[in-house]
């Protein structure tokens, strides 16, 4: 039956489905899913003579029907050695690092593996890099979509699983694939190291995993969730990782990742995350910092005479942070600049540690020290974002842009937040941000460098261009 043969769902019914999908799988359906979901649901309603509520109740009890439904609402696009630079990072940096720890085995997880190409790529690369070294490895592959997992287990792949990105690792697949009519079939040896399991990353406890992971690939999936769900899932994944383990997202998703236990790493222009070592020690350190911070606040409050008499100009602050330039003429003013700079560093640290309350306190102090500027609104936006208040975050980023329309960090996160709501608006926002970034880079400006958490502005431009490409398709 063609799409047009079924009437479109009522907006009200689509909203009911959206809440069902969000609560059960964490996926945010947008208006772009409307036509496809309408068609699927109406065909099923006609099949069962159900109304929508009855169909959703039926789904909860009927696994087979739920699998069909999940297949209709998920995007399973994937291919072998996708974003091949990640595999280069594994080969040249991560595997040698893990070997140096004198481990005897490593555990890898492809956390939303779809039809399995990512898990197979990981397994063949591990085979290539580790087999001769008497180093054992296992690759777990999980996904919500059991129909995709069935495809994976059939071991049959079409030409669509091979793209030019990934071509340089194609030679690793050849020993494990045999021609099967116009397709390729996986040889049985590959299954020795692969463990395939259904998993709803939001709802499941992950209890079927035997031990901590050393490498996790969780790529091209965060985009279907909102900030709150990302945060919940990320916490669960990080809990399952060993200290010092590695976590990969697609490069366009990296700026969505905020987690106090993860530090960002860079290797030849590719970004990934490593779980901080010794989590317990870290907690003690955070506690110590908290005590020190409270002490400083106390001193600052008691020395109210020392409060800056003159508000600091933001450009002077930038001169101080970025160019280390100080005009020693006005001692009192320089002290104020110094205090504001220390305060700004603390805000960024608290945001990094996802400590919403502390970062808000500090930002409040900071805003009393400096003349109003776009960075204050941008930072409130960042804090609201880690606090999962997307509406407020959006308002603040907008205010930052009203203050300074060239404030590209605010424009960038505004575009990222829009991804969850409206891809056309988001495409427009990424295009505007990319233009701003090009002007900023052409000027050779470093104005916002302290906000970039170790990334450079070219990286943000690259992410914008990736999203523009994806959303244009």
Judged by CB under 6 A, the residue of 5, 32, 60, 77 near ligand SAM is 77
Site for ligand SAM contains 193 (CB under 6 A): no
Minimum distance of ligand SAM from residue 3's CB (angstroms): 22
Residues 56, 16 contacting (CB under 8 angstroms): yes
Binding ligand SAM (rule: CB under 6 A), the pick from 95, 224, 246, 396 is 224
Task: By CB under 6 A, name the one of 75, 211, 299, 424 that touches ligand SAM.
Answer: 75
DSSP for residue 81 = T
67 is a site residue for ligand SAM (CB under 6 A): no
Report if residue 162 touches ligand SAM, rule: CB under 6 A.
Answer: no
Smallest distance, Å, CB 407 to ligand SAM? 32
Backbone angles phi, psi at 246, to 5 degrees: -110, 140
Stretch that binds ligand SAM, among 75-83, 206-214, 319-327, 337-345 (CB under 6 A): 75-83
Strand partners, 88: none
112 touching ligand SAM, by CB under 6 A: yes
Distance CA 437, CA 390 (A): 23
Tell which one of 33, 44, 219, 231 touches ligand SAM (CB under 6 A). 219
- Cα separation of 190 and 272, whole Å? 27
Binder among 8, 16, 30, 200 for ligand SAM (CB under 6 A)? 200
> Contact region for ligand SAM (CB under 6 A) — 33-41, 77-85, 129-137, 304-312?
77-85
- Indicate whether 367 belongs to the interface with ligand SAM (CB under 6 A): no
Q: How far is the CB of 148 from ligand SAM (least distance, A)?
A: 5
Q: Is 57 among the residues that bind ligand SAM (CB under 6 A)?
A: no
Helix ranges (DSSP H) in 203-313? 227-239, 279-302
What SS3 state is found at 369? helix
Q: Which of 13, 17, 21, 25 binds ligand SAM (CB under 6 A)?
A: 25
Query: Among residues 110 and 367, whose Cβ is nearest to ligand SAM?
Result: 110
Quote the least distance from Cβ 356 to ligand SAM, whole Å. Answer: 25
CB atoms within 10 A of CB 153: 16
CB of 203 to ligand SAM, least distance (A): 8
- Pick the closer one to ligand SAM by CB: 163 or 282: 163
**H-type helices in 404-455, by residue range?**
408-418, 423-443
Q: Does 13 bind ligand SAM (CB under 6 A)?
A: no
Should residue 68 be labelled a site residue for ligand SAM when binding is judged by CB under 6 A?
no
Sheet with 177-180, strands from edge to edge, namely: 156-157, 183-186, 177-180
Would you call 391 exposed, middle or buried from its count of C-beta atoms within 10 A (0-12, 13-18, 19+)? Answer: exposed
- In whole angstroms, how close is the CB of 267 to ligand SAM at the nearest point? 19
Pairing status of strand 156-157 against strand 183-186: antiparallel
The yes or no reply on residue 30 touching ligand SAM (CB under 6 A) is: no
Q: Which of 42, 121, 145, 226 binds ligand SAM (CB under 6 A)?
A: 145
Which of 200, 445 has the CB closer to ligand SAM? 200
Answer whether 374's CB lies under 8 Å from 398's CB.
Answer: no
Q: Which residues bind ligand SAM (CB under 6 A)?
A: 25-27, 74-78, 82, 112-114, 118, 143-145, 148, 199-202, 219-221, 224
């Amino acid at each position: 039956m063609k799409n047009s043969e079924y009437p479109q769902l009522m907006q009200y019914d689509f909203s009911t489905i959206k809440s069902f999908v969000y609560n059960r799988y964490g996926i945010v359906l947008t208006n772009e899913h409307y036509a496809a979901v309408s068609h699927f649901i109406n065909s099923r309603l006609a099949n069962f003579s159900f109304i929508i509520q009855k169909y959703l109740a039926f789904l909860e009890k009927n696994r087979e029907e739920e699998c069909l439904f999940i297949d209709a609402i998920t995007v399973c696009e994937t291919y072998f050695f996708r974003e091949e630079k990640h595999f280069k990072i594994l080969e040249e940096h991560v595997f040698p690092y893990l070997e140096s720890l004198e481990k005897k085995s490593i555990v890898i997880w492809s956390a939303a593996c779809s039809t399995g190409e990512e898990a197979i790529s990981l397994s063949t690369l591990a085979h290539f890099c580790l087999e001769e070294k008497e180093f054992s490895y296992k690759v777990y592959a999980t996904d919500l979509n059991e129909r995709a997992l069935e495809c994976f287990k059939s071991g049959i792949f079409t030409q669509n699983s091979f793209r030019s990105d990934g071509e340089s690792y194609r030679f690793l697949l050849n020993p494990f694939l045999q021609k099967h009519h116009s397709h390729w079939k996986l040889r049985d040896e590959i299954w020795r190291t692969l463990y395939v399991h259904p998993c709803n990353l939001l709802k499941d406890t992950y209890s079927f995993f035997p031990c901590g992971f050393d490498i996790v690939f969780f790529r091209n999936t965060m985009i279907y969730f909102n900030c709150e769900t990302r945060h919940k899932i990320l916490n669960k994944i990080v809990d399952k990782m060993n200290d010092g383990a590695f976590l990969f997202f697609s490069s366009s998703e990296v700026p969505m990742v905020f987690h106090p236990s993860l530090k960002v790493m860079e290797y030849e222009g590719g970004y990934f995350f490593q779980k901080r070592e010794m989590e317990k020690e870290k907690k003690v350190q955070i506690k110590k910092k908290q005590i020190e911070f409270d002490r400083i606040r106390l001193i600052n409050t008691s020395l109210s005479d020392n409060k800056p008499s003159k508000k600091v100009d933001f450009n002077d602050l930038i001169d101080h942070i970025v160019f280390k330039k100080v005009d020693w003429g006005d001692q009192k003013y320089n002290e104020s600049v110094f205090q504001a700079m220390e305060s700004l560093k603390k805000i960024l640290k608290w945001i990094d540690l996802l400590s919403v309350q502390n970062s808000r306190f500090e930002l409040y102090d900071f805003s009393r020290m400096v003349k109003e500027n776009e960075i204050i609104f941008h930072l409130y936006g960042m804090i609201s974002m880690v606090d999962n208040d997307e509406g407020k975050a959006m308002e603040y980023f907008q205010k930052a842009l009203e203050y300074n329309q060239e404030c590209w960090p605010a424009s960038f996160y505004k575009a990222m937040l829009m991804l969850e709501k409206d891809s056309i608006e988001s495409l427009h926002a990424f295009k505007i941000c990319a233009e701003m970034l090009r002007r900023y880079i052409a000027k050779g400006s470093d104005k916002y460098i302290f906000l970039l958490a170790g990334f450079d502005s070219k990286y943000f431009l690259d992410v914008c261009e990736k999203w523009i490409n994806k959303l244009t398709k």
